[in-house]
Amino acid sequence: MPKVKQINHVAVVVEDMEKALSFWRDALGMELHELRDVPAEQSQVAFLPLPGSEVELVQPTTDDSGIAKYLAKRGPGMHHVCLEVDDIIGMMTQLKSRGVRLINEEPRIAADGKRYAFIHPESTSGVLVELYQI
């Protein structure tokens, strides 16, 4: 049976990356590990690691991306919680068998090779959940 291993990251959607970094990096003193454009998600992501997890700041790079639509509808703030799993295919199959609505029917592959998929918030009490397999 597939298992959740840990919280991999918490993602925060932002309107202005530099303004957000002035809090997370400068005021809190968190290290900015990387600032990366993610064309597949039409976003720019700042990675701020913590022991065992990280905070990701996500800014849309287009006006019609999913992140931009989310930002327009809900405003800046927490976007999703990412759970690291040991078997993403097994977990997705298990969730589907229990009637959980998935956004992605098949895992996507990130630039760093990690496989990921999103679970629709209507199945999670309103929280967008990402599954990650490293």
Q: At residue 61, what are phi and psi to the nearest 5 degrees?
A: -110, -5
| Band of residue 112 on the pLDDT scale cut at 50, 70, 90 | confident
Helix (H/G/I), strand (E/B), else coil: 87: coil
Q: What is the pLDDT of residues 72-97, one digit of tens each?
A: 999 999 999 999 999 999 999 999 99
Q: What is the pLDDT of residues 23-46, one digit of tens each?
A: 999 999 999 999 999 998 899 999
DSSP 41: G
* Mean per-residue pLDDT of the chain: 96
**Domain 4-133: CATH architecture, name and number where available:** Roll (3.10)
So where are the chain's domains?
4-133
Q: Quick one: three-class SS letters along 81-107?
A: EEEEECCHHHHHHHHHHCCCCECCCCC
